[in-house]
């Protein structure tokens, strides 16, 4: 079990009821999140698997994992307002994340996924603790797929959101993101470099780490999605 808190309460980003409702409007198809989730679908094998969805939010990733054949999705999140909107579909199990650990045994999941959650972690220590917990839950040689903000996306204008442009960012700096829902709202994320993500994954015991930068396919309505990838997708394998 992980020692120490994954999220210290005073450092959590807490979504309001209005924000959680607005965020639940954002699906996958036709949104800025589509390229990253298509890459997830390409890279992962979920058929018949038990999958951890770390930072499920309103359950968008959990629904996709079920569509991709997952038998059981353990959908964990730290925010009660968001978790309340996770669908009660068969095979999707919402769980509120405690401050100390993810409430599942060692080697209890075949695959782990985290989409757009690590960017909300405020310190490198928190991110390392989260990666360690995910590794603990994975079976030997289990796969972890991490979708997170491409550092090069800061200042770009995307269909579903936009990060303010800040010069000379360093890892751990706060970055403001405008979410383009109705109503729109802003959230505070954290800037992390690619090197930091890689180092955190390596320290957690993941090997054969790869990263890709998926762009949007041809289509209408895209802004910078076809020029600079909104997300980077990491894949790592737990050492046996």
Residue spans of the domains in the chain: they are 9-150+193-238
What gap in Å lies between CA 235 and CA 8, rounded to an integer?
Answer: 27
Residue 17: pLDDT band (50, 70, 90) is low
pTM over 0.85: yes
CATH of 9-150+193-238, picked from 3.40.50.720, 3.40.1280.10, 3.40.50.150, 3.40.640.10, is 3.40.50.150
**154 Cβ partners below 8 Å, 6+ apart?**
163, 164, 165, 166, 169, 175, 191
What gap in Å lies between CA 64 and CA 194, rounded to an integer?
Answer: 26
Provide the 3-class DSSP secondary structure of residue 196. helix
- Nearest to 15, CA basis, from 111, 79, 100: 79
8 pLDDT higher than 80: no
Q: What is the number of residues in the chain?
A: 240
Weakest mean pLDDT among 3-7, 23-27, 148-152: 3-7
CB 68 within 8 A of CB 37: no
3-state helix vs strand vs coil in the chain, percent to 5 = 25, 30, 45
User: Tens of pLDDT along 131-147?
Assistant: 999 999 999 999 999 99
User: Tens of pLDDT along 206-230?
Assistant: 999 999 999 999 888 999 999 999 9
Average pLDDT, stretch 33-49?
A: 97
Which pair of structure tokens corresponds to residue 11?
Answer: 């450092």
Between 72 and 9, the more confident residue is: 72
- Nearest to 32, CA basis, from 236, 232, 230, 238: 230
Residue 82: pLDDT band (50, 70, 90) is confident
- Measured CA angle at 234 (ends 155, 140), to 5 deg: 155
- The mean pLDDT of the chain is 89
What gap in Å lies between CA 64 and CA 72, rounded to an integer?
Answer: 12
3-state secondary structure 13-65: CCCCHHHHHHHCCCCCCCCCCHHHHHHHHHHCCCCCCEEEEECCCCCHHHHHH
User: Tens of pLDDT along 96-138?
Assistant: 887 667 889 999 999 999 999 999 999 999 999 999 999 999 9
Sign, CA dihedral 162-168-171-176, equals negative
What gap in Å lies between CA 89 and CA 173, rounded to an integer?
Answer: 37
CB 20 within 8 A of CB 82: yes
């Amino acid at each position: 079990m992980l020692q120490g808190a994954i999220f210290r309460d005073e450092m959590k980003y807490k979504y309001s009821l209005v924000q959680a409702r607005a965020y639940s409007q954002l699906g996958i198809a036709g949104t800025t999140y589509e390229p990253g989730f298509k890459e997830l679908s390409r890279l992962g094998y979920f058929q018949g698997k038990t999958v951890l969805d770390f930072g499920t939010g309103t359950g968008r990733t959990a629904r996709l994992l079920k569509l991709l054949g997952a038998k059981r999705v353990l959908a964990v999140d730290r925010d009660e307002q968001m978790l309340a909107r996770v669908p009660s579909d068969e095979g999707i199990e919402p769980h509120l994340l405690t401050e100390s650990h993810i409430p599942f045994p060692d080697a209890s999941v075949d695959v782990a996924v985290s989409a757009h959650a690590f960017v909300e972690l405020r310190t490198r220590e928190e991110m390392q603790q989260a990666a360690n917990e995910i590794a603990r839950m994975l079976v030997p040689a289990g796969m972890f797929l991490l979708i997170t903000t491409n550092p090069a996306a800061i200042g770009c204008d995307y269909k579903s959101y936009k990060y303010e442009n800040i010069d000379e960012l360093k890892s751990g700096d706060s970055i403001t993101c405008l979410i383009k829902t109705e109503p729109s709202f802003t959230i505070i994320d954290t800037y992390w470099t690619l090197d930091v993500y890689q180092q955190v994954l390596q320290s957690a015991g993941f090997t054969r780490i790869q990263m890709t930068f998926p762009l949007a396919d041809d289509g209408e309505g895209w802004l910078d999605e076809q020029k600079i990838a909104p997300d980077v997708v990491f894949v790592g394998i737990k050492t046996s």
